[in-house]
Amino acid sequence: MDLPLIRPFPPRLSRLGAALEAIEESGIYSNSGPVARRFEQEATARLFGGRGACVAVANATLGLMLALRHGLLGRRDRTLAILPAFTFAATAHAAQWVGLTPVLADCDPDDWALAAAEEERLLARHGARIGAILPYATFGNGLDWERYAWLARRHDLAVVIDAAASLGARDEADRGFGTDCPFPVVFSMHATKTFATGEGGLIYCRDEALVERLRAMANFGFEAGRSATLPGLNAKLAEVPALLALEKLGEIEAVATHRAALADHYRRRLAGFTLQVPRGRRPALQFMPVLLPAALAPHREAIIARLAEAGIGAGRYFSPHLAEQPHFRDTCLIEPLPVTDAIASRMLVLPVTDAMTIADVDRVADALIEACRRQPRLPRAQPATPRSRLFGAILVGGGPAGSALIGAAAKAGQLEPLAAAGLAVIERAPHIGSGKLGAYAIASDSTAETFLTADTALPPALRLEDEAVAKALRAHIGGLGVPLAKVGAYLDRLGARLAQRLDDLGGVLLTGHEVVAAQQLGGGGWRVRARRRADGEAIELHGHSLVLATGGHQPATRLAEELVAGRSLIERCGDRLIQSDALLREGGVEAALASLPTGRPLRIALVGGSTSAVTAAVRLLKAGVPLAPGGLALLHRRPLRPFYPSAAAARADGFEDFGPDDICPVSGFVYRLAGFRLEARELVVHALGIGGRAGDPRLRLHRLGGAEDAVAARLLDEADLVVAAFGYRPHALPLIDQAGRAIRLRADAPAHGPMVDDQCRVVDAAGEPLDGVFGIGLAAGFVPSGALGGEPSFRGQANGLWLWQNDVGQRIAAQLLARAEAACARAVA
C-alpha cells in the first residue's frame, strides 16, 4: 500500500550517533537526565512561548493518570469523571486506574469534542460526586480551555485535557495549544502521532509548581531524597526517547504546517462531505477525519476495501466508541449518545503523512468519491419537510442576522404564529447562531449588554443567563466591545436554544443544507431549491415569502472598480494588496506580515473610512506591528465621525463638528448611524485630537482628494502592504423570475445600491421591490428612518445586531405574518 493511513516518521537514530555516544559517555540513561530536562525546557520555550513548564513522561496514558491523581488530592470523596464517549480507550482507562468511574457523555456535532450542554447537565445532576472532567481535543483539534478553567473554579473539580494528538497544534492566538492553561494538558509522542518519536508523553501547565509535583509523582512520589511524600509511580522518560523528542522539536513546525496544507486541500476537495469544524489556527493532524453520508454508513467497510484496492489506507477511529466496547459498557455510567452514535457510525479517516503531496490528496479524494458513488444508497427518512407543504416563510441563513430575526419575532410574540403558518430555516452550517463571526480576532462594535438582551427572546427555562457563555460576555459590560470569539460562542449557544424553541413550535430547521436558487411562482410565492451538503441530495420547498439572511463579502471586483488617486488599487498595488476581511480574521495579521520585509519599520496603507477600515487600524496597532511614526496611513473619503449620546456630551468633550441634521430626532444621539463606537471610536477621537487628546504617533490620517491626489499616490506606492477596506456587499441568492430569467438586484447593478428598501424588501435593478422577498443582515443596506430614528445626514448602510434583534427583525416578521394571513384568506375564499 503506497499511501498507508499511518506512516511513522520519527527522527532516525542512525543519524544521531554522536548524541547517542554522549548519552553512553554520561552514564545517565533515565531519572530526569540532562537530555530529558533539555527537551522539557526547549519544548516549553518553542511550543509554549517560554510560559509555564513541561515534564516528560514515558507515555501519555501515564501522564493522564498522574495529572488526574494529582487533581484528586483533597478530593477523595469525589468518585465520578466526565469524559467523552468519543475518544480513545486510554482516556477512560486512566480515570479508572486512579479510582474514578467514567461518566461517558455525548459530543458536539461540530467539533466532536465534549458537548458543553452535556457537561452542564451532568454537573447539575451529580454535583459534588464529580471529581474531574477529561475533555479530549478530538483528533488534534483545539478547544476552549478557558471555559474549563471557569468550570473548575465554579465546581471545585479537577480538569485534565487529553490532547494526545495535539502537540504541534496552534490556538486562535497562534500559540501552542494549551499555552497558559492553569491545569495539566497531556500530549502523546507516540510514533503514529504528528509529533512522532517512538513512545513518550509530555505534560504542560502554566503552574510551574504543579509541574514539579507531577515530576515527583512520576518518580515514585519522591519530592526530595528517596522518601515518598506524594502518590507516585514510575513514569519517567528515558534519555534515548528524550533524544528523539528533542530532535523532533526541530521538525515539528514544518511537519505540522505541511499536514495543515494537506488538510486544507482535503477540505476543498471533500466539501460535499461532513467535516470536523476546526478550532484554533492549526490542528496537528494525525489523519483526515470525514463523515460518510448517512446512507453510506452501512457500506463503510466496502468503501475502505475499495480504497485499499487503490493502494490507499483508511480506517474508522473511535468506532466502536467507548460505550460500545465491552469493558467500558460494563464499568462506566453511560449517558444517551445520539451524536456520538451517529458520528462513530459514519467516521472514516484518510491518510495525512509527512511524505504526502497535494497530488496524493487529490488521488485519495478522487478514490473516495468514486468509492462512494459506486455504493448503493439506502433509503433514509427525510427531515420533517414534506415536499407538498407550503410554508408561510422560508428563511435562508441562520447566522447572526437570521438568528436575530427569529429572536426578534420571539420577543414580539410573532414566532408562534409564524411557526403555525409554516416557518422553514435553511442554514449551510451544522447549526444556527454565529456564522463566521467567531473567526475574527477583533472586538465587537456592539456592547456586551446588546448581545445579552437577546436572551429575553427565550422562555425562562431556555435562557442562558447562568451559562458560561453569558458570564463570559458579562465580564465585558461597560467595556469597549467583546472579543468576537466569545460572541461567537454565545450566539452559537443562543442559536441552539432558538432552534429548540422553533422545533417546539413546529417550525422546520434544515441545517447542513445550502440554497441553490429561488424561483418566482405564478400567483405569488417562491420555489426554493436546496441541496444537502453531506451528499448533494436535492430538496425543494415552496413558501409565500422568502427572507435572505445570507451575509456579506468583499468581492475582488471592488479592487478593480474603485479608483484611488486616479488608479485602481489592483493596478497600482498588485501583490501588496489584501482586503480588510482577511486581515481581521484569526491569524490574519500574521499571514499578512509573513512575506513582508523584516529588520526595519513597515509602511502600511489602509484605504477606506468604514468600521472595517478603522477596526483594521486598531488590530494592526494592538498587534505590535513594527511601524515608523506615521507608518500606518488611513486614507478615507468622508470625515471620520465619533458617536456621542447627546449634543451636550459632544460639546462637553470638545467636539463641535456636527449640525442639526447629524442628530437623531428620536434618540438625540449625535451621529447615531455614521459614528464610530467602542474601540473604533477611541481610535478616532484620539486621532482627531478631540478634547486635546493625543493620537497614536504611528497612525496618520489622510482625507482622499481626486485623481491628482499626489499624497495618496505616494502613500500607496511606498507602502509595504495595502489594505482595502471598502465595506461589504451582500451574498445575494440567485433569484429567477417565472420565465426562468435571472432577476438582477439593485445591489448587483452598476450603481451598487442597497439590497433592500426602507421596509426591508429586496429590490431589483429598477428599484422595484420583489413580491415577498425580504433581506436582513450584513450588507443588506437597510437605513432606519421615521420612528426608527437615525440622523437625516446619514448616507450609507446600517448594520447592527440591536436593529436585527428588534426593530428590523420585527418589521420583517410582521410583514411575513401579514402575507401568510392574506394567502390563507385567499385560499379559504
CATH number of the domain where residue 819 is located: 3.50.50.60
pLDDT at 635: 97
Share of the chain above pLDDT 70, in %: 97
Give the separation between CA 798 and CA 780, rounded to whole angstroms.
Answer: 9
Across residues 11-23, what is the average pLDDT? 90
Both 604 and 567 in a single domain?
yes
- Does the pLDDT value for residue 827 go beyond 70? no
Q: Calculate the average pLDDT of the chain.
A: 90
- Does the pLDDT value for residue 86 go beyond 60? yes
- Does the pLDDT value for residue 748 go beyond 80? no
**CA 343: distance to chain centroid?**
20
Q: Identify whether 249 is part of a domain.
A: yes
pLDDT at 753: 83
pLDDT at 775: 94
Both 689 and 778 in a single domain?
no
pLDDT at 387: 43
Q: 694, 709, 727: which is the final residue of a domain?
A: 727
Give the separation between CA 615 and CA 621, rounded to whole angstroms.
Answer: 10
The answer to whether residues 250 and 258 touch, using CB atoms and an 8 Å cutoff, is: no
Across residues 629-647, what is the average pLDDT? 95
| Neighbouring-strand partners of residue 762 | 756
Both 791 and 720 in a single domain?
no
pLDDT at 381: 34
Q: Identify whether 801 is part of a domain.
A: yes
Both 212 and 265 in a single domain?
no
Tens digit of each residue's pLDDT (9 = 90 or more) over 341-358:
989 999 999 999 999 999
Q: Identify whether 509 is part of a domain.
A: yes
**Predicted confidence band at 379 (pLDDT cuts at 50, 70, 90)?**
very low
Across residues 674-689, what is the average pLDDT? 94
pLDDT at 383: 40
- Does the pLDDT value for residue 385 go beyond 50? no
- Does the pLDDT value for residue 380 go beyond 60? no
The three three-digit cell numbers of residue 570, written as one number: 489592483
Across residues 11-33, what is the average pLDDT? 90
| Cα three-residue angle 181-185-187, rounded to 5 degrees | 140
From residue 499, give the alpha-carbon distance in Å to each of 419, 513, 592, 809, 810. Answer: 12, 15, 38, 17, 18
**Nearest alpha-carbon partner for 778 in 730, 724, 819:** 730
pLDDT at 436: 87
pLDDT at 376: 67
Across residues 540-552, what is the average pLDDT? 93
- The enclosing domain of 584 has a CATH number of 3.50.50
Most confident of 78-82, 272-276, 517-521: 78-82
Q: Identify whether 185 is part of a domain.
A: yes
| Sequence-separated (6 or more) residues with CB below 8 Å from residue 818 | none
Q: 228, 253, 278: which is the final residue of a domain?
A: 253
The three three-digit cell numbers of residue 326, written as one number: 465491552
pLDDT at 378: 39
Query: Residue 364 phi/psi, 5° resolution?
Result: -65, -45
Give the separation between CA 634 and CA 619, rounded to whole angstroms.
Answer: 13
Across residues 566-589, what is the average pLDDT? 89
H/E run at residue 257:
helix 252-269
Q: Identify whether 656 is part of a domain.
A: no
Name the amino acid, one letter, at 644: Y
Identify the residue whose cell numbers are 445579552: 452
User: Which ranges of 688-800 would DSSP assign to H, the alpha helix?
Assistant: 710-718
Q: Identify whether 316 is part of a domain.
A: yes
pLDDT at 480: 87
Both 624 and 761 in a single domain?
no
Q: Identify whether 660 is part of a domain.
A: no
The answer to whether residues 312 and 348 touch, using CB atoms and an 8 Å cutoff, is: no
- Does the pLDDT value for residue 796 go beyond 80? no
pLDDT at 531: 81
pLDDT at 219: 94
Give the alpha-carbon dihedral of 121, 126, 130, 135, to 10 degrees. -20
**Predicted confidence band at 751 (pLDDT cuts at 50, 70, 90)?**
low
Both 416 and 433 in a single domain?
yes
The answer to whether residues 699 and 687 touch, using CB atoms and an 8 Å cutoff, is: yes
Tens digit of each residue's pLDDT (9 = 90 or more) over 37-50:
999 999 999 999 99
Per-residue burial over 342-360, b = 16 or more CB atoms within 10 Å of its CB, e = otherwise: bbbbbbbbbbbbeebeeeb
Reduced to 3 states, what is the DSSP secondary structure of residue 203?
A: strand
Both 210 and 313 in a single domain?
no
- The enclosing domain of 98 has a CATH number of 3.40.640.10
Q: Into how many domains does the chain fold?
A: 4
Q: Identify whether 646 is part of a domain.
A: no
Most confident of 21-35, 74-88, 176-190, 784-798: 176-190
- Does the pLDDT value for residue 638 go beyond 80? yes
Both 717 and 751 in a single domain?
no
The three three-digit cell numbers of residue 377, written as one number: 444508497
Q: 253, 278, 312: which is the final residue of a domain?
A: 253
Both 494 and 405 in a single domain?
yes
**Predicted confidence band at 386 (pLDDT cuts at 50, 70, 90)?**
very low
Tens digit of each residue's pLDDT (9 = 90 or more) over 550-575:
988 887 767 877 899 999 888 888 87
Both 611 and 747 in a single domain?
no
Reduced to 3 states, what is the DSSP secondary structure of residue 255?
A: helix
Q: Is 747 exposed, middle or buried (0-12, 13-18, 19+ CB in 10 A)?
A: buried
Across residues 153-163, what is the average pLDDT? 93
Both 807 and 704 in a single domain?
no
Both 398 and 261 in a single domain?
no
Domain hosting 144: range is 29-253
From residue 749, give the alpha-carbon distance in Å to each of 347, 736, 765. Answer: 45, 16, 6
Across residues 495-520, what is the average pLDDT? 91
pLDDT at 829: 58
